[in-house]
């Protein structure tokens, strides 16, 4: 017992103390800053190299719902029109907000992207349990979601957690492009949760189909039938991106 206590003392407090102030290393690819005035005439190199069809031209834009944050567009752009920053707060309650146009600054995006809902806080503010459904994901998003509950990020301290059964859940977290095989299972899981329920799409695959947008092995009809409460971009999203977005949705400071 004494040894256990000594070990506990030696470990100290391992969770990030103030998660709202956490910073990532500068090389992390998060919010992109786009400056179209730096584009060379008639250049389309970024669009051509993008594997996710995330880049729009005239005006130059990046759809964070499709982007895999591979950084190839930044490397291809000799004029420096696209620069990824380490800002990881990328969640949004509106799909259209995820399209970042030239001139958009992070502070504006951060202010506008997530609309906190009082009724959600009233019901789920103290306890919010999710069932995670991997609908054909590669396990990248799933691993990062699992990390949200580890000793470092400790999402459980906010009353937010994952549970094993949709019957015990208040919402569903979807990862993966929704393959044909997983489409019925996803619908079953959703229908097993009683109203009101929250739906979160995590990762470029779940939000847009990601790299599998053109695949005939996916069935994304479910997303047209239900309202998505929160989109969390990334491939895979950082645990802090997920935790901040859910806290913002709840309106928790
Ligand atoms: S970082 Fe995003 S927008 Fe740029 S090439 Fe990769 S997927 Fe496309
Ligand atoms: S978004 Fe990226 S990490 Fe997540 S399931 Fe798709 S390919 Fe994997």
* pLDDT tens digits along 22-70: 999 999 999 999 999 999 988 999 999 999 999 999 899 999 999 999 9
Residue closest by Cα to atom 2 of ligand 1: 67
Q: Which has the higher per-residue pLDDT, 222 or 8?
A: 222
Whether 131 and 245 map to the same domain: the answer is yes
Q: Tell which residue, 102, 103, 101, 105, has the closest CA to residue 85.
A: 105
Q: How far is the CA of 14 from the centre of ligand 2 (A)?
A: 28
Ligand nearest to the CA of 232: 2
Q: What is the CATH number of the domain that holds 137?
A: 3.40.50.12280
Judge whether 232 and 203 are in contact, CB under 8 Å.
yes
Whether 128 and 49 map to the same domain: the answer is no
| Of 29, 134, 140, best ligand 2 pocket probe by most atoms within 8 Å of the beta carbon | 140
Report CA torsion sign: 90, 91, 94, 96.
Answer: positive
Q: Kindly state whether residue 45 falls inside one of the protein's structural domains.
A: yes
Average pLDDT over residues 111-122: 91
Task: State the chain's mean pLDDT as an integer.
Answer: 95
Q: How far is the CA of 69 from the centre of ligand 1 (A)?
A: 5
Ligand 2 closest atom vs CA 134: 5
Label residue 102 by pLDDT band (50, 70, 90): very high
Whether 191 and 215 map to the same domain: the answer is yes
Task: Check residue 174 and report its DSSP letter.
Answer: E
> What whole-number distance in Å separates Cα of residue 178 and Cα of residue 24?
30
Whether 136 and 171 map to the same domain: the answer is yes
Q: Kindly state whether residue 155 falls inside one of the protein's structural domains.
A: yes
Judge whether 101 and 61 are in contact, CB under 8 Å.
yes
β-partners of residue 172 are 131, 199
% of the chain beyond a pLDDT of 70: 100
Whether 122 and 245 map to the same domain: the answer is yes
Whether 187 and 66 map to the same domain: the answer is no
Pairing of strands 128-134, 99-101: unpaired
pLDDT tens digits for range 157-186: 999 999 999 999 999 999 999 999 999 999
Q: Tell which residue, 113, 203, 198, 195, has the closest CA to residue 160.
A: 198
Q: Tell which residue, 223, 238, 245, has the closest CA to residue 133.
A: 223
Q: Which of 106, 141, 156 lies at the terminal end of a domain, its last residue? A: 106
Whether 60 and 158 map to the same domain: the answer is no
Ligand nearest to the CA of 82: 1
pLDDT tens digits for range 199-240: 999 999 999 999 999 999 999 999 999 999 999 999 999 999
Tell me which residue has tokens 């005035």.
Answer: 37
Q: How far is the CA of 236 from the centre of ligand 2 (A)?
A: 5
Name the strand (E) or helix (H) holding 173: strand 171-175
Average pLDDT over residues 138-149: 98
Judge whether 249 and 124 are in contact, CB under 8 Å.
no
Q: Kindly state whether residue 7 falls inside one of the protein's structural domains.
A: no
Judge whether 52 and 211 are in contact, CB under 8 Å.
yes
Predicted pLDDT at 251: 92
Q: How far is the CA of 109 from the centre of ligand 1 (A)?
A: 19
Tell me which residue has tokens 């070990």.
Answer: 7
Q: How far is the CA of 71 from the centre of ligand 2 (A)?
A: 15
Predicted pLDDT at 111: 94
Whether 154 and 242 map to the same domain: the answer is yes
Predicted pLDDT at 252: 83
Predicted pLDDT at 117: 83
Task: Check residue 68 and report its DSSP letter.
Answer: -
Domain count, the chain: 2
**CB contact set of 102 (below 8 Å; sequence gap of 6+):** 34, 35, 36, 37, 59, 60, 61, 81
Q: Kindly state whether residue 47 falls inside one of the protein's structural domains.
A: yes
Q: Is the CB of 70 under 6 A from ligand 1?
A: yes
Predicted pLDDT at 10: 86
Residue closest by Cα to atom 6 of ligand 1: 70
Q: Which of 106, 136, 165 lies at the terminal end of a domain, its last residue? A: 106
Determine the structural domain holding residue 100 and report its residue range.
32-88+96-106
Tokens coding 80 = 């420096």
Whether 57 and 147 map to the same domain: the answer is no
Residues having CB closer than 6 A to ligand 2 are 137-138, 140-141, 175-176, 203-205, 210, 235-236
Predicted pLDDT at 11: 83
Whether 100 and 125 map to the same domain: the answer is no
> What whole-number distance in Å separates Cα of residue 101 and Cα of residue 46?
14
Predicted pLDDT at 225: 94
3-state class of 162 per DSSP?
strand
Predicted pLDDT at 140: 98
């Amino acid at each position: 017992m004494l040894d256990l206590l000594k070990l506990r003392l030696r470990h100290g407090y391992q969770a990030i103390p103030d998660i709202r102030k956490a910073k990532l290393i500068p090389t992390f690819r998060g919010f992109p800053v786009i400056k179209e005035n730096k584009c060379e005439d008639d250049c389309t190199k970024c669009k051509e190299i993008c594997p996710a069809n995330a880049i729009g031209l005239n005006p130059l834009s990046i759809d964070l719902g499709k982007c895999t944050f591979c950084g190839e567009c930044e490397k291809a752009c000799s004029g420096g029109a696209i620069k990824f920053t380490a800002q990881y707060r990328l969640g949004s309650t509106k799909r259209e907000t995820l399209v970042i146009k030239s001139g958009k600054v992070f502070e504006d995006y951060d202010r506008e992207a997530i609309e906190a809902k009082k009724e959600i806080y009233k019901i789920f503010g103290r306890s919010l349990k999710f069932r995670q459904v991997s609908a054909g994901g590669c396990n990248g998003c799933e691993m990062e979601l699992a990390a949200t509950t580890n000793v470092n990020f400790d999402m459980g301290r906010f009353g937010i957690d994952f549970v094993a059964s949709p019957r015990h859940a208040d919402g569903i977290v979807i990862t993966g492009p929704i393959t044909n095989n997983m489409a019925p299972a996803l619908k079953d899981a959703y229908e097993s949760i009683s109203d009101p329920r929250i739906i979160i799409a995590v990762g470029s695959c779940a939000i847009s189909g990601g790299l599998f947008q053109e695949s005939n092995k996916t069935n994304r009809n479910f997303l047209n039938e239900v309202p998505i409460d929160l989109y969390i971009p990334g491939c895979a999203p950082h645990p802090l991106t997920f935790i901040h977005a859910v806290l913002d949705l709840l309106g928790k400071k």
